[in-house]
């Protein structure tokens, strides 16, 4: 091994910092542009604008065919075959992206004829192909451990998009179509720059011949990730598209404001979970007790951080919406007050998923994703149609409460020494203590909300007590270690009874 080469830990830390910092920069720039677009389009057109991206997010899952993880893994293992993986994965994705374009067109004809014009269809097809190509290029870079190059290219292309949007805004020609076309142009620059970097690094043609056997192997390796991607649709963007179909794009515009405001917490949860995965994977192979302790602490501190943030935003939703998006979107306040807790629950789900992935429990992850998809789909269909944006927010949180119960149960069955009760109890206690000072400015809100918080707290405790077969011996061991004074009282009382 070369002494000058960076250690694995240093390389991991560097890649994580690059990805996290670039993601934050991209989201900050994107959030500023979103505010400008929302204020100029209005709720209805802003809803149409977001619907396009929700649809792209859904139908691009088929076009990408779950090849992202496969490309990263195989290029990292055998960099010499980079051109072979690039050519074959590009061929597969072109075929399935064509299929996803056809599915998207049929969906628009049946459910959303108002945006099924030839020009709108064309720009959406372009976005689907661009998403597929950019993901292939980024996966190649990630497989080569070159996270900085795609991050820098994405940042430059995003700034070019901002510049074009500001030009259209200056000349008062900003509408949904102009925003999408400027985005397509900036993403074309991204694709061309990435291709030049890849070609320069590899110093060979990126397109080589491949055989049928190799294609079938890639498809076989990718289909589990495709299934997971399809299942994730029903827990994510599916509900937002249903809201547009049932209640119109105006309601979707109000919901999208809440969605954008909870995005920073959501992305932070993703970054934290991704950073934990290699550490947990290593500890699971080396020391199971240390793995259990790390899992417990990761869950506890993660939730303890996210829940107070969610409460803070929920109780100041009106001021936050008015500050960023203006008075036209004040109907989003109640939706934000509920939907912001989506980020807190997502943080928990990501930690549980990371723990299960580190334990190589692919089957458990698949079954949990299937159950979540079924439960969320039913709730989205009922609540989005009846109550609009607010109902959809309630459906998300209600689905999370139901889903977190059996997620914790499965985790407890697989890792019996994990103190689920303590993992949930302590973060909730910290969160409610953090909430109290926020209400001194408005005693009426405090009086109204405390009973609701207590009822919700009791419901969660009862639910967790029912689904958590907590081992009494483990509980006693925790009391003996954490609260020796209580253990002495127990011993003395036992002696007195004897």
| Contact status, residue 222 vs residue 65, Cβ threshold 8 Å | yes
* Average of per-residue pLDDT across 466-481: 49
Percent of the chain whose pLDDT exceeds 70: 70
- For residue 101, the model assigns a pLDDT of 92
Residue 386 has pLDDT above 50, yes or no: yes
* Average of per-residue pLDDT across 68-95: 80
CA 488 to chain centre: 46
* Average of per-residue pLDDT across 62-80: 80
| Contact status, residue 124 vs residue 52, Cβ threshold 8 Å | yes
Output the CA torsion 127→128→130→132 (10° steps): 160
Interatomic CA distance for residues 67 and 441, integer angstroms: 52
- For residue 99, the model assigns a pLDDT of 92
- For residue 126, the model assigns a pLDDT of 92
Residue 177, exposed/middle/buried by CB under 10 A (0-12, 13-18, 19+)? middle
| Contact status, residue 179 vs residue 165, Cβ threshold 8 Å | yes
- For residue 184, the model assigns a pLDDT of 92
* Average of per-residue pLDDT across 113-132: 88
Interatomic CA distance for residues 463 and 368, integer angstroms: 18
- For residue 127, the model assigns a pLDDT of 92
- For residue 210, the model assigns a pLDDT of 62
Residue with tokens 């994965």: 89
Sequence-ordered list of residues with C-beta below 8 angstroms from that of 484, at least 6 positions apart, any chain: none
Residue 361 has pLDDT above 60, yes or no: yes
Interatomic CA distance for residues 250 and 243, integer angstroms: 10
- For residue 294, the model assigns a pLDDT of 72
- For residue 455, the model assigns a pLDDT of 56
Q: Which two tokens stand for residue 395?
A: 């459906």
Residue with tokens 């939907």: 339
Residue 440 has pLDDT above 50, yes or no: no
At residue 74 the predicted structure's pLDDT band, cuts being 50, 70 and 90, is confident
| Contact status, residue 402 vs residue 375, Cβ threshold 8 Å | yes
Instruction: Find the helix packing angle between 176-202 and 8-64, rounded to 10°.
Output: 130
* Average of per-residue pLDDT across 53-78: 84
Q: Which of 415, 406, 335, 395 is nearest to 368 (CA)?
A: 406
Distances in whole angstroms, Cα of residue 89 to Cα of each of 133, 135, 143, 192: 10, 11, 14, 18
Condensed to tens digits (0 to 9), the pLDDT of residues 234-263 reads: 878 888 999 999 988 899 999 999 888 887
At residue 205 the predicted structure's pLDDT band, cuts being 50, 70 and 90, is low
SS3 sequence of 211-245 = CHHHHHHHHHHHHHHHHHHHHHHHCCHHHHHHHHH
Which one is predicted more confidently, 497 or 88? 88
Condensed to tens digits (0 to 9), the pLDDT of residues 424-433 reads: 555 454 444 4
Its pTM stands at: 0.75
Sequence-ordered list of residues with C-beta below 8 angstroms from that of 267, at least 6 positions apart, any chain: 23, 24, 27
Q: Which of 172, 178, 181 is nearest to 124 (CA)?
A: 181
């Amino acid at each position: 091994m070369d002494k000058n080469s960076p250690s694995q830990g240093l390389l991991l830390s560097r890649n994580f910092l690059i990805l996290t910092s670039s993601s934050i920069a991209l989201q900050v720039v994107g959030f500023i542009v979103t505010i400008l677009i929302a204020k100029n389009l209005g709720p209805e057109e802003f809803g149409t604008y977001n619907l396009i991206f929700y649809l792209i997010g859904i139908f691009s899952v088929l076009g990408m065919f779950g090849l992202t993880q496969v490309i990263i893994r195989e290029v990292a293992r055998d960099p010499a075959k980079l051109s072979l993986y690039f050519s074959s994965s590009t061929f597969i994705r072109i075929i399935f992206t064509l299929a996803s374009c056809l599915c998207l067109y049929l969906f628009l004809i049946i459910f959303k004829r108002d945006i099924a014009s030839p020009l709108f269809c064309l720009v959406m097809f372009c976005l689907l192909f661009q998403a597929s190509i950019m993901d292939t290029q980024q996966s190649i870079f990630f497989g080569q451990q070159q996270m900085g190059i795609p991050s820098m290219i994405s940042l430059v292309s995003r700034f070019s998009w901002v510049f074009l949007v500001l030009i259209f805004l200056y000349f008062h020609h900003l509408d949904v179509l102009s925003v999408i076309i400027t985005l397509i142009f900036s993403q074309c620059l991204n694709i061309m720059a990435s291709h030049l970097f890849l070609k320069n690094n590899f110093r060979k043609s990126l397109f080589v011949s491949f055989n049928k056997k190799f294609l079938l192997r890639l498809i076989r390796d990718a289909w589990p990730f495709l299934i997971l991607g399809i299942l994730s649709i029903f827990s994510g963007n599916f509900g937002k598209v249903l809201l547009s179909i049932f209640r119109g794009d105006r309601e979707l515009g109000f919901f999208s404001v809440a969605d954008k405001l909870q995005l920073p917490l959501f992305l932070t949860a993703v970054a934290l979970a991704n950073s934990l995965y290699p550490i947990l994977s290593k500890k699971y192979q080396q020391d199971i007790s240390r793995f259990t302790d790390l899992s417990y602490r990761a869950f506890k501190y993660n939730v303890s951080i996210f829940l107070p943030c969610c409460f803070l935003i929920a109780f100041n939703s009106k001021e936050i919406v008015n500050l960023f998006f203006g008075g036209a979107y004040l109907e989003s306040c109640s939706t934000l007050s509920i939907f912001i807790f989506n980020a807190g629950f997502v943080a928990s789900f990501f930690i549980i998923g990371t723990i299960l992935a580190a334990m190589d429990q692919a089957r458990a992850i698949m079954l949990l994703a299937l159950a979540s998809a079924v439960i969320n789909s039913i709730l989205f269909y009922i609540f989005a149609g009846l109550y609009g944006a607010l109902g959809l927010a309630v459906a998300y949180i209600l689905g999370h409460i139901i889903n977190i119960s059996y997620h914790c149960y499965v985790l407890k069955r697989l890792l019996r020494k994990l103190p689920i009760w303590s993992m949930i109890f302590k973060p909730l206690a910290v969160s409610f203590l953090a909430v109290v000072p926020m209400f001194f400015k408005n005693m009426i809100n405090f009086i109204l909300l405390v009973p609701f918080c207590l009822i919700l707290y009791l419901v969660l405790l009862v639910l967790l007590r029912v689904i958590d077969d907590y081992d009494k011996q483990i509980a006693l061991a925790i009391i003996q270690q954490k609260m020796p004074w209580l253990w002495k009282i127990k011993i003395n009382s036992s002696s007195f009874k004897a």
